[in-house]
Chains A and B, each alone.
Chain A
């Protein structure tokens, strides 16, 4: 199962990469290609283009649910930590370093919620923040040192001023020549075919 998943991830960026002149042209092309039936497509831009999620038909990120669970865990841990260390028992079966250490001071209650709130809050934030970052990286499949995209001469401009559209070779509609022609029709400035072996430039005039 893992092999299949790994292959799916590795092949994700095998396909055609087309450069567009600006965010407007890119979004327009995405919408038209989706109308033509392509669904495994992605864009590469120097900054998040607003409205692109909708154009690509992506729903909202699920990250919020993960962070909520992370925050709850932190809060519960903060409560448990403070309760156990000040009011927990000392069972024989538990190693000494993990036993509670209740101290009776004038028969006051051993534990109270009020002074425990700051640390419960801080741990909630800590766990939620760690989950947000780890969850974002996991959902994005990062870190990802190798990527077929990096064979492209042009993709480097996606972090500068280039706007790219990528169609996966695994898309059911994908046909190298027909898809390249469609991209050229949508106004691509340049088209490349990328796979694990390298990049191959496609002549725009013959494609169209």
Chain B
């Protein structure tokens, strides 16, 4: 399909391509459709959902308070299993976040123009998932009031962080990832905030105009500004791309740099990155299915978008499954008995149930997406997208716990079971995530308005060059006086008093 092969200047090759925006919308319709949701009265369903999210957020507050008061002993950790659910949840949430950056940055660099209707919400998902992820290692340190020791802050103790530790690399990688994602998201938002400001001025809602206008920074849509803006956006995408690949690689170093059997493997960085994209895309599908239904955005987030995401899920799920099998091969091929034991124990030991949940959710079930009918079926993708995230949670659980619970010393062997407080903190992190996501849906344009307009056929100046077979249905409403001469780029090059254009 040529929509994925747009040439350099973002102009579709032919107007017969499947449209990215359905329903013959005009520019104004797109503005109304997206901005309207942030302006109307708060819907009852939103309030209901928000109160449920706040309930879980309160549970998080309780779990954190109890944890800080008593220490990490309230979790189910024991002597060989020092990393329990906290690390599992951390890796799981960071992984989910990766899809947002992938959609916003990597698909941008590959000129996948279909990303424009989902990138804003996917980036928001990234930010909130990173916030949830940071919770877990922050409180896992036990004495959370000393967490600033992980930062290189000059202090009277003359003490510096241990820069040779992958855990410290993680501090830098994840917090910088969060910062850059926030910058990228905000830069993308500026033109849309200006849209909200201008609409608020027009509607006479001056307080709203002041608040939104503050964040819009006085944006006017000047072409001299768009020039630097687009360059900044391109550079941020170029920076976010290696960054996102490095973040999950660094997360995997937490495991791979150790000498624990089942962790000490070079396959971890690529395999973790693929798993992160896999779970993140599944989360985007879950959230988009709900959002497009509730907010009537079926014309912007079309079945084609969902199908493309399902293809990515199928691809990355298969990569992850292939990595699971490769690990077994390497364990056998290495000839190291400890490695071989670790993997036999994964598949057939005490945690075999978790291993086979992981295998069926991540490798086996997504294979259904080979069938076109299945990857375009809304009920089926709703189920699979959730199943994938269950599977990815179990993947991290299997990696973390099965390797730890069989120490080198059999007398230390133990079984890890979570406590109520493990569960409370995990459920509570959903409260944080959904509270933030619902606030986003309520107050921020959930689709990148300016970017969607930019990929519509009538955004191309050449669209107006001459009569089109069906072009007239897309003409703007105002009767436009026909240009005296047909527009052509060559005409301007001739006798320009300011010299030739560069």
Q: Are A96 and B158 in contact (CB under 8 A)?
A: yes
B461 adjacent to A85 (CB under 8 Å): no
Q: Is the CB of A48 within 8 A of B229?
A: yes
Closest CB in chain B relative to A130 CB, distance in Å: 7
A201: CB under 8 A from chain B?
Answer: no
B 142-172 contacts with A by CB, 8 A: 152, 154-156, 158-161, 163-164, 166, 168-169, 172
Over the window 339-383 of chain B, the binary record of Cβ atoms lying under 8 Å from chain A Cβ atoms (1 yes, 0 no) is: 000000000000000000000000000000000000000000000
How far, in angstroms, from A101 to B219 measured CA to CA in the complex? 48
Question: Nearest Cβ in chain A — how far from B397, in angstroms?
Answer: 26
Residues of B within 8 A of A63 (CB): 228, 231-232, 235
Question: Is there a chain A Cβ closer than 8 Å to B491's Cβ?
Answer: yes
16 residue pairs bridging A and B, Cβ less than 8 Å apart: A21-B480, A23-B458, A25-B487, A48-B229, A49-B226, A52-B226, A58-B227, A63-B232, A122-B243, A126-B176, A128-B239, A136-B231, A155-B220, A159-B31, A159-B191, A160-B28
Closest to A114 in B: B164
**Given A48-B454, A157-B198, A160-B195, 11 other A-B residues pairs in contact with their CB atoms under 8 A:** A21-B478, A23-B458, A47-B191, A49-B461, A85-B161, A101-B159, A136-B229, A136-B232, A156-B199, A156-B201, A160-B31
A130 cross-chain contacts in B, Cβ below 8 A: 183
A199 within 8 A of B: no
Using A144-B217, A161-B31 as known contacts, say yes or no to A48 and B179 having CB atoms under 8 A apart.
no
Q: Which of B26, B27, B197, B496 contacts A34 (CB 8 A)?
A: B496
Give the residue name and chain of the B residue nearest to A51 (CB). B461
The 6 A-B pairs at the shortest CB distance, nearest first, are namely A24-B464, A21-B480, A97-B154, A144-B218, A31-B492, A156-B198
Contact A129 B180 (CB under 8 A): yes
**Complex contact A119–B163 (CB within 8 A):** yes
Task: Let me know if A183 is at the binding interface, CB within 8 A.
Answer: no
Q: Is A61 an interface residue (CB 8 A)?
A: yes
Contacts of B31 in A (CB 8 A): 46, 159-161
Interface residues of A in 1-59 (CB under 8 A from B): 13, 20-28, 31-32, 34-35, 37, 39, 42-59
CB distance from A38 to the nearest CB of B (A): 9
Beta-carbon contacts under 8 Å, A49-101 to B: 49-61, 63-64, 67, 81-82, 85-86, 95-101
Cβ of B501 within 8 Å of any chain A Cβ, yes or no, is: yes
Bound-state CA distance A50–B453 (Å) is: 12
Tally of contacts, chain A with chain B, CB under 8 A: 267
State whether the Cβ of B459 lies closer than 8 Å to any Cβ in chain A: yes
Cβ–Cβ contact A115 & B163, under 8 A: yes
- Residue-wise, chain B 20-47 has the 8 Å CB interface mask toward A (1 for contact) of 0000001110010000000000000000
Bound CA span A205–B219, Å = 32
A132/B28 in contact, CB under 8 A: no
| B11 located at the interface, meaning its Cβ lies under 8 Å from any Cβ of chain A in the complex | yes
* A158 interface contact, C-beta 8 A: yes
Sorting the interface of chain A by its residue count into under 10, 10 to 19, 20 to 34 or 35 or more gives 35 or more
Residues of B with C-beta under 8 A to A49:
223, 226, 459, 461
Interface residues of B, CB < 8 Å — how many? 95
Within 8 A of A (CB), among B179-218: 179-180, 183-184, 186-187, 191, 194-195, 197-199, 201-202, 213, 217-218
Please give me the residue from chain A that is nearest to B186 by CB atom: A133
* Whole-angstrom distance between the Cβ of A111 and the nearest chain B Cβ: 9
Asked if residues A61 and B228 are in contact (CB atoms below 8 Å), the reply is yes
Q: Does B13 contact A (CB under 8 A)?
A: no
Q: How far is the CA of A123 from the CA of B246 in the complex (A)?
A: 12
Q: Which of B11, B159, B487 has the most CB of A within 10 A?
A: B487
In the complex, what residues of B have CB within 8 A of residue A122's CB? 169, 172-173, 176, 243, 246
Is A147 in the interface zone, CB < 8 Å from B?
Answer: yes
- On whether the beta carbons of B239 and A35 are closer than 8 Å, the reply is no
Nearest chain A CB to B169 CB, angstrom units:
4
Give the distance to chain B from A121, nearest Cβ to Cβ, in Å.
6
Interface residues of B in 444-476 (CB under 8 A from A): 449-451, 453-454, 458-465, 475-476
Chain B positions within 8 Å of A158 at CB level: 198, 220-221
The residues of A that contact B169 with a CB separation of less than 8 Å are 118-119, 122
Please give the distance in Å from B122's CB to the nearest CB on chain A.
18
Within 8 Å of chain B (Cβ to Cβ): is A207? no
Contact of A48 among B213, B226, B236 (CB under 8 A): B226
Q: How far apart are the CA atoms of A156 and B202 in the complex, in Å?
A: 8
Interface string of A186-203 (1 = CB under 8 A from B): 010100000000000000
B502 at the interface (CB under 8 A from A): yes
CA gap between A167 and B231 in the complex, in Å: 24
A170 interface residue per 8 A CB criterion: no
Shortest CB distance B496–A (Å): 6
Say how far A4's CB is from chain B's closest CB, in angstroms. 20
A140 within 8 A of B: yes
Bound-state CA distance A25–B480 (Å) is 9
Interface presence of A178 (CB below 8 A): no
Q: Are B459 and A24 in contact (CB under 8 A)?
A: no
On chain A, the residues within 8 Å of B240 by CB distance are: 129
B218 engages A135 (CB within 8 Å): no
Interface membership of B16, Cβ < 8 A = no
Given contacts A31-B492, A57-B498, A81-B152, contact A142 B225 (CB under 8 A): yes
**Which single member of B152, B228, B450, B494 contacts A136 (CB below 8 Å)?**
B228
Is B282 positioned at the interface, with any CB of A under 8 Å from its CB? Answer: no
For B163, give the chain A residue with the smallest CB separation.
A82
- The reply to whether B198 and A35 form a contact with Cβ atoms under 8 Å apart is no
B195 touches A28 (CB 8 A): no
A184 to chain B, nearest CB (A): 10
- In angstroms, how far is the closest chain B Cβ from the Cβ of A69? 13
A169 CB-CB contact with B under 8 Å: no
Asked if A24 meets B187 with Cβ closer than 8 Å, knowing A125-B176, A140-B224, the reply is: no
Among A28, A98, A126, A140, point to the contact of B180 (Cβ < 8 A): A126
- How far apart are the CA atoms of A96 and B478 in the complex, in Å? 71
Q: Which of B220, B227, B502 contacts A44 (CB 8 A)?
A: B220
Smallest CB gap from B223: residue in A:
A43
Identify which of A26, A32, A64, A129 gathers the most chain B CB atoms within 10 Å of its CB. A129
Q: Which residue of B lies closest to A131 (CB)?
A: B235
Residues of B within 8 A of A137 (CB): 217
State A133–B223 Cα separation when bound (angstroms).
Answer: 17
